[in-house]
Structure 1
């Protein structure tokens, strides 16, 4: 896979996001199923998935027995995205009043119409980031608020924690400097049955046709699908495949499948008119490592159309440098560098290419 310069979407493009929330659930009737069948449907359509992950699920033995960890590592390696979906999806303010935590919101209490303090929200987000880094070696840069509600305090915390995208029920646009909202949509696949299958598909396609064409971005939302009978018996899988096939047939090349992160970056370019800081000069290509996932070695290639001074480094998700693969002048051509993960833990690692005036980062997954 070549990584080229990022650009703003064309005027009639529709940036299409598949967002799946709550992939680890407390549902005790149906234990969580593998996310990979849904991911495979997306990949067959040329699409990517943004998984909304609640970090606390990794601490709950009854819903995480290792399968989701392995699935998510494979997913990240295939170019899909993990987005931070709060911390535990329970409201501390409701609990302090009623003695029982309210399911459905977290950062902002919709019962009392009051947000948690900056310090409280900062701790929830920081704790969630640490769990994800420790569990699967991933550091998200996008945020899905539990209950789909947030306020200016949430946005300030996210900006201070280096998040650059959020998805809430509001028009797409900046909610504050450096934090872009890509918007969201209704979940037409919720409670899917044989009886409402065709009607829900028709509603979904109509919504894509109306909102996607008007706004230039559309989020196909699937909320907590992995503990529903419609997923376990394959109904939602078939429905999603049909929706994606219909979208591709109707819109053709106008549809561009992206993650939430990618959509927010591109939409931000439209509003600011800025050039992406990650844009690579023409003629320089940073290739995806191969194999990926890998154990313990992999190859990273850099393609130069002219002599150039570069530095290629590898970092863990905490920002610690674990290797420098090259640092110096290279002639034009294709250059290969081997990375050996012996002695490192499983997880996501970042490799960063520095050239004069430009920097670009890719990810790879070590699975032992």
Structure 2
């Protein structure tokens, strides 16, 4: 199954303990360089790259072997079986003796190890409860001098909550005098579903700029007033023109810094006068931009840019959120439109499968849409169906691009091994003790990692005990 003797079995799944393990075949898309499990390329019609969304036959995919990556058939977790094998061989939980209270005659030497066998469940449970109390007390002792962020969070009456996946909707091409009915219909879906959305607004089109007295500007301000937690307005370029051939077309990529800075400054001023607040999120037209764009955005005090995942993969070698020069890049994952010449949509099931893959991988998923393409009720129903499918999954957090960036950069949103931790400003009485344990373990883990070695089974047992 892997590069081992054929009769050697993979260790059980570290998440659920199942023995239903199968190898993952890894493939590379020669066109864009995406390297992923082959199953992620499969769609209804054959094969399609999950990064650049281009149709690709098996001829454009090259196998890079299986290695030791495997997948659990019961819970879907993917992991490196070689690493898991090492973990199984090292299933003794170890503590540094000088990190524990002294017992008996106190003859403890620094560097000695106290090992606990995997058996002895009664003693292990008792030690787990002790560990919880020890960690909590350690956090209390060190909080005053070493954790100002925790102090601020404690004062804000919030709690850490863990999520399986984060979802962002990005609606591009908001502009005056163009398919107003379709725009309002799409907005109403998000209002009815209570799901936030980032709106990419074009400040200047056909030699006409947004005017605060225009019907569109009044509409956007009304939406923001009525639903302040649902609508974010982002700068979507300046004129949305294709000015260069940079990465198959761009309004910004390939232009000199001075020209890019001027366009961003003018667009920001225009959009700010329209909506009444300064935008902090930038969506580049055609999903492309370059390092001069980043430099100009930082100069204009933007905090986040959201381009195409296929583009950031080619230009930066990244498809997940990443930072450069203080600017957060949050690439989109998927479009509704399959064929731009016919306005054909992907099927609802195809979009849901892509989300399911992101959910299974505990990833950020950004769904891009363009309101002018929602020309009939069936397409609106596709949008509703996708949202409802996402809501049916446990542990999904909906955010705007801006709120994601704000929490990410302030330390209130963290990518962890088993999903996402988000600091929620809410009544602490509504948060379970299990949720708090997740936060405690991740937040103060670094403080005690030098003295206490805690494995994932210990954390799972701890949560079972406190529940």
Cα distance in 1 between the residues matched to 2:278 and 2:405 = 17
Q: CA deviation at 1:236?
A: 2.2
Cα distance in 1 between the residues matched to 2:362 and 2:211 = 37
Q: Does 1:264 align with 2:408?
A: no
Cα distance in 2 between the residues matched to 1:196 and 1:116 = 33
Cα distance in 2 between the residues matched to 1:158 and 1:264 = 14
Q: Which residue of structure 2 aligns with residue 210 of structure 1? A: 357
Question: 2:273 aligned to 128, 134, 141, which one?
Answer: 134
Q: Which residue of structure 1 aligns with residue 239 of structure 2? A: 88
Q: Which has the larger Rg?
A: 2
| Larger helix share, 1 or 2 | 2
Secondary structure of the corresponding residue to residue 105 of structure 1: coil
- Relative distance call for 1:89 and 1:248 in structure 2 (3 A) is same
Deviations 1:78-102 (A, max 9, x none): 12100111100114457xxxxxxxx
Q: Which residue of structure 1 aligns with residue 222 of structure 2? A: 74
TM-score (norm 2): 0.47
Residue segments in structure 2 that go unaligned for 5+ positions in a row: 1-155, 313-318, 417-422, 429-467
Q: Which residue of structure 2 aligns with residue 244 of structure 1? A: 387
Q: Which residue of structure 1 aligns with residue 432 of structure 2? A: none
Cα distance in 2 between the residues matched to 1:58 and 1:72 = 20
Q: Which residue of structure 1 aligns with residue 148 of structure 2? A: none
Q: Does 1:233 align with 2:372?
A: no
Q: Does 1:33 align with 2:174?
A: no
Q: Does 1:166 align with 2:166?
A: no
- Relative distance call for 1:117 and 1:5 in structure 2 (3 A) is farther
Alignment of 1:279-358 (within 5 A): none
| Contact 2:172 2:199 (C-alpha < 8 Å) held by counterparts | yes
Q: CA deviation at 1:134?
A: 2.2
Q: Which residue of structure 2 aligns with residue 304 of structure 1? A: none
- Relative distance call for 1:126 and 1:47 in structure 2 (3 A) is same
Cα distance in 2 between the residues matched to 1:62 and 1:175 = 31
Secondary structure of the corresponding residue to residue 334 of structure 2: coil
Q: CA deviation at 1:215?
A: 5.0
Cα distance in 2 between the residues matched to 1:25 and 1:240 = 23
Question: 2:348 aligned to 201, 209, 212, which one?
Answer: 201
| Larger strand share, 1 or 2 | 1
- Relative distance call for 1:5 and 1:137 in structure 2 (3 A) is farther
Deviations 1:299-356 (A, max 9, x none): xxxxxxxxxxxxxxxxxxxxxxxxxxxxxxxxxxxxxxxxxxxxxxxxxxxxxxxxxx
Q: Which residue of structure 2 aligns with residue 335 of structure 1? A: none
Cα distance in 1 between the residues matched to 2:391 and 2:275 = 33
Cα distance in 1 between the residues matched to 2:188 and 2:241 = 31
Cα distance in 1 between the residues matched to 2:295 and 2:157 = 29
- Relative distance call for 1:57 and 1:72 in structure 2 (3 A) is farther
Q: Which residue of structure 2 aligns with residue 221 of structure 1? A: 368
- Relative distance call for 1:39 and 1:215 in structure 2 (3 A) is same
Q: Which residue of structure 2 aligns with residue 255 of structure 1? A: 396
TM-score (norm 1): 0.59
- Structure 1 segments of 4+ aligned residues over 4 angstroms from their partners: 4-9, 61-65, 189-192, 270-273, 278-283
Cα distance in 2 between the residues matched to 1:7 and 1:176 = 29
Cα distance in 1 between the residues matched to 2:415 and 2:164 = 18
Q: CA deviation at 1:212?
A: 3.9
Alignment of 1:39-188 (within 5 A): 39-57=187-205, 60=208, 66-77=214-225, 78-79=227-228, 80-93=231-244, 105-108=250-253, 115-168=254-307, 169=309, 170=312, 171-188=319-336
Q: Which residue of structure 1 aligns with residue 434 of structure 2? A: none
Secondary structure of the corresponding residue to residue 88 of structure 1: coil
Cα distance in 2 between the residues matched to 1:152 and 1:158 = 10
Matched residue count = 252
Cα distance in 1 between the residues matched to 2:274 and 2:196 = 22
